[in-house]
Structure 1
């Protein structure tokens, strides 16, 4: 077997691989000898079929296997000897398409090699960690918001008219063409106006009613309504308003705390404080991660594989196009051209991606099975009732596994950089942290 370099330009590589006819014949014979003991053929005992007959019967099929194995072996040996790592799947094709048994096999292989990543002194990276404490005012604000979600309703004055957001307690009877229908009646039903829990157009007609009032509400069932006998039909609901109640926030006391699983109000405040500081820490980490990537981007410079750049720029262009055209859900749209902006973003992403991969490999960073399971479970929650199907899909889909593994790996490498970098802490206000986060979104 012979491997001859035909191209060495930047990161582009080209090689001509020749597998001699003698090598192929030897590999075919090797396969026949290995298979001979288990082969039966009419007129011969098992394992006693002559090699010449076996070769005539199975040689052509085994020749294809021998070719593939020889070429794969030559490629693997080349990458092991050269130390090259292809950026993408190498392009491999036979150059003597008129090949016939007895000829050598000539193959052309081309690829772009991943560049050598320069050493980075991570200790030279200086970072600032923003620290936000959950103050009493922050906890009180969060507690008040929590109380609103647990709101109750209190009766308005007897002559008060209902407003949007109020609760009206009603008896109702629905009729179509003057005839009552199944499921169209209810007594003492507490309906929150604006909750959209009734047919579209129903609740707005009850804004402004008073206790003791009777009102006919005319609505049309949606065309796609689940009950086919009602779909698209107009109905009149006679509603008797029994009470009009205004929303009031729940009282901040131990009873409220127990509704949210805390022993008392002080315990609930403590839990809220911990949750807020965890949220602040997550936001602070996002800011510091961006600062880390910016610092690393300035520290390194190396050639980038054009194929990776083109693929990344195309993906960025496609993603941004869909963000600008959210009404287009599929991919039936005009070809999207990449711009200098897309290419610039791609250069940063590819460069940092290669650098983080190198840092992670040298630091022996690994994504554990437990971390992958947690990630899959997190994604599976988006498909309620179909969690099992999602798990099975991920198990069979290597690309999906990589999509889930990549961000976990990246975050673990970033944590490794944090450990070695020079990090100072700065206590800031919640508003200052929020501005720093908003700055990330604008970039």
Structure 2
């Protein structure tokens, strides 16, 4: 095999590999010896078919298989010989080849950068502590009680208001034609819940029992039914009943209805939940301070392919969220104005990811096998029971996929390590003050790499929702890039696992087109 380097600019590398035809033929001959005893042909005893006839029958397939294995082995050898650490899956292209010809392969890739020694001394972080006081627990109890509310039928003349529930029959049509799943009877809808597609619930405000209405709506672009995405529809609705919420009193009887001894036990459980929530907010604030200081102190080149992949992920999430805004077009227009800001955020996230990974590796931060097993089992729960083992096998065979699963926990452990190294001061504040501090951080826009920590305080107003999410996007520093072990199998493309996520139950799908798709949970550290 002959290898020639054709490009070496920054992190970009390219090579041309020539695999001699004789090497490919040798692989074909070896495979012929393996399969010949299994070939059956009329007129010949089993295993006695001449090799030339076997080649004539299976030669094309064997040559293709031999070429693929030769290319994969060639790329693996290239990575090992050149000590390359690909940032992303290398591009491999067959430039020349064919029966009896040398195979000429073009390999293009970006390498992971050499991360400079991390400056982790002198980190200063303020921990804002919030006590889970009685008022916070009262609010948690009230929220829980509100979620357990029941309804009573309202008088026939009662007009439905936000917070009321209506029981409806409906039939939806697109271009005047009914569509599958667009019809339902006796469906209960809480007005203002946001469960249905935009505009559906709003148009039922003011309706009375036995009233018929025609609703005009547009399905979101990310609606789970492909042929309905972005399409306008009409729903003929009959309001059977208007119901009003009955006040739920948070007392011993309420707690006992939930299987507890009384309201005191419920308050103790909710206190623990409130404390966890407040600790999460405190950690978010601390982590943002940490990442800002790391970003300010480190600037090094990062692979453009990784930045582009990170940007695509951010942009897809923003588009998903914009599609559920009241004015989706305005939200998308605002996003477009800030496209370059988000691209800089993507670059910052990649750089911080590489930096955190390097810090973790150099300081012995590890995810144990037991912790990894727990992650795998948790992730496997999203698949059908019969497909979970396939998912587990997929992770075993794909190091990069396993590294992506490991990355968030690895990152958290690196952050905890850095917290231990930092000088931490404490201050007691109210929940409002803590949330205000977090929101204030959402207002600034980080420059490329935050090389001088020069924040643009001409911040976008919080009302512009996509802009308000910038700080949260910046906080997510994926630790997977340098931990991805991309060099393990660079020539092998990561295949999707055969296990498919379970579809919605048929009974629930009947009214599905009227339902708003649930937002995907995004990790916002």
Fold shared by both chains (TM-score > 0.5): yes
Q: CA deviation at 1:258?
A: 2.9
- For normalisation by structure 1, the TM-score amounts to 0.67
Which residue in the other structure is 2:480 paired with? Answer: none
Q: CA deviation at 1:71?
A: 1.3
Change over 3 Å in CA distance of 1:24–1:422 after alignment to 2: same
Which residue in the other structure is 2:502 paired with? Answer: none
After superposition, the C-alpha distances for 1:174-221 in whole angstroms (9 at most, x for unaligned) are xxxxxxxxxxxxxxxxxxx9899xx99999699xxxxxxxxxx76226
Change over 3 Å in CA distance of 1:409–1:390 after alignment to 2: farther
Q: In structure 2, how many angstroms separate the alpha carbons of the residues matched to 1:397 and 1:34?
A: 27
Asked whether 1:369 is paired with 2:370, we answer no
Name stretches of at least 5 consecutive residues in structure 1 with no aligned partner. Answer: 154-160, 166-192, 207-216, 225-230, 240-244, 381-385
Change over 3 Å in CA distance of 1:338–1:315 after alignment to 2: farther
2:115 aligned to which of 114, 117, 131 = 117
Asked whether 1:414 is paired with 2:415, we answer yes
Contact 1:13–1:111 under 8 Å retained in 2: yes
Which residue in the other structure is 1:310 paired with? Answer: 308
Which residue in the other structure is 1:171 paired with? Answer: none
2:296 aligned to which of 283, 295, 298 = 298
Q: CA deviation at 1:234?
A: 8.4
After superposition, the C-alpha distances for 1:339-373 in whole angstroms (9 at most, x for unaligned) are 43232112112212333344455633366232344
Which residue in the other structure is 2:432 paired with? Answer: 431
Contact 2:285–2:438 under 8 Å retained in 1: yes
Matched position secondary structure for 2:434? helix
Change over 3 Å in CA distance of 1:135–1:36 after alignment to 2: same
Which residue in the other structure is 1:227 paired with? Answer: none
After superposition, the C-alpha distances for 1:33-80 in whole angstroms (9 at most, x for unaligned) are 222332333443333333344334433332222111111101101112
Q: CA deviation at 1:389?
A: 9.8
Segment of structure 1 superposing worse, 123-132 or 77-86: 123-132
1:220 aligned to which of 212, 216, 220 = 212
- For normalisation by structure 2, the TM-score amounts to 0.58
Which residue in the other structure is 1:62 paired with? Answer: 62
Q: In structure 2, how many angstroms separate the alpha carbons of the residues matched to 1:147 and 1:232?
A: 34
Which residue in the other structure is 1:182 paired with? Answer: none
Q: In structure 1, how many angstroms separate the alpha carbons of the residues matched to 2:36 and 2:240?
A: 86
**Larger Rg, first or second structure (1 or 2):** 1
Matched position secondary structure for 1:95? strand
Contact 2:160–2:207 under 8 Å retained in 1: no
Contact 2:94–2:104 under 8 Å retained in 1: yes
Matched position secondary structure for 2:3? strand
Matched position secondary structure for 2:285? helix
Q: In structure 1, how many angstroms separate the alpha carbons of the residues matched to 2:204 and 2:85?
A: 65
Matched position secondary structure for 2:275? helix
Segment of structure 1 superposing worse, 106-115 or 348-357: 348-357
Q: In structure 2, how many angstroms separate the alpha carbons of the residues matched to 1:201 and 1:314?
A: 35
Q: In structure 1, how many angstroms separate the alpha carbons of the residues matched to 2:240 and 2:20?
A: 88
Segment of structure 1 superposing worse, 67-76 or 87-96: 87-96
How do 1:140-219 residues align onto structure 2 when only pairs under 5 Å count?
140-143=138-141, 219=211
Q: In structure 2, how many angstroms separate the alpha carbons of the residues matched to 1:93 and 1:205?
A: 63
Contact 1:28–1:62 under 8 Å retained in 2: yes
The RMSD of aligned alpha carbons is: 4.9
Q: In structure 2, how many angstroms separate the alpha carbons of the residues matched to 1:77 and 1:261?
A: 63
Contact 1:11–1:305 under 8 Å retained in 2: yes
Q: In structure 2, how many angstroms separate the alpha carbons of the residues matched to 1:235 and 1:30?
A: 74
After superposition, the C-alpha distances for 1:129-179 in whole angstroms (9 at most, x for unaligned) are 2221122343345445656667899xxxxxxx99999xxxxxxxxxxxxxx
Q: In structure 1, how many angstroms separate the alpha carbons of the residues matched to 2:304 and 2:191?
A: 55
Q: In structure 1, how many angstroms separate the alpha carbons of the residues matched to 2:390 and 2:60?
A: 38
Which residue in the other structure is 2:287 paired with? Answer: 289
After superposition, the C-alpha distances for 1:2-37 in whole angstroms (9 at most, x for unaligned) are 112111111111111111122122222122222233
How do 1:197-276 residues align onto structure 2 when only pairs under 5 Å count?
219-220=211-212, 250=249, 253-276=251-274
